[in-house]
Amino acid sequence: MSARDDLANLVRRAETGTAGPPDPRWAALTVDAARARRAAVLMLFGVLDDVPAESGKPLAPAALDVLLLERAHTLGSHPGQVAFPGGRIDRGETAVEAALREAEEETGLDAGGVEVLGSLQELGLAHSNFLVTPVLAWWQSPSPVRVVDYGESAQVFRVPVRDLLDPDNRVMATVHRAGRTFDSPAFTVNGVLVWGFTGIVLSGLFDQLGWSVPWDQGRLHPIGA
């Protein structure tokens, strides 16, 4: 079975309620749905072309990457964090329309080459009070991507999935806020740390797909508040 088939099957299981119990960290991503703002992110997977994978380990699936961006360090919300392309759902838009529009605006991709597979369960982003719909998609015809607005993004990049799955690139990010400690699965790739909401969503997705590789969850990576 191909990686695309794995992703499409996960969407079908999610839609029919047979995807199995949610990742416990996904279950913790909650907000007050009555007060939250709606947003959508595009989780866009495709076949590697000229993006070299650093990991030489025989990790499956091979020749696969995902599109990510690093938010500008001057932003007031989640500055410098790695995220999926996405943003607020405007009035009259669906989650899919918003995810594609935001991805075009942030990365310059051609949405005509994107096959939308479906949406996963809504997840809460408590820090900014968003209820986020992850839109899972397959990049049928990859197009060039770039930073469209440096006021919004520091970089746009495609990261090989096998680099994300490599146990050497996995850590548990830990941050102290308001007298409490928060831990989240994270990835050290492309010279950045993928943690928080994005790290939790990617880790849970890989677990649900059966792609995850055992890693040392006791290896902590402290980060600033």
What's the average model confidence in pLDDT over 129-139? 94
225 pLDDT higher than 70: no
What's the average model confidence in pLDDT over 112-139? 92
User: Which domains, from first to last, does the chain contain?
Assistant: 3-48+60-222 (3.90.79.10)
pLDDT tens string 185-201: 999 998 999 999 999 99
To the nearest whole number, what is the mean pLDDT of the chain? 89
Asked whether the beta carbons of 110 and 133 are under 8 A apart, the reply is no
Token reading at 71 = 């938010």
Candidate ranges 42-56, 64-78, 122-136, 184-198; pick with highest mean pLDDT: 184-198
Residues 6+ apart with CB under 8 A from 29: 123, 124, 125, 126, 197, 200
Task: Report the predicted TM-score, pTM, of the whole model to 2 decimal places.
Answer: 0.92
164 pLDDT higher than 90: yes
Which pLDDT score is estimated for 175? Answer: 85
Chain centroid offset of residue 64 CA: 14
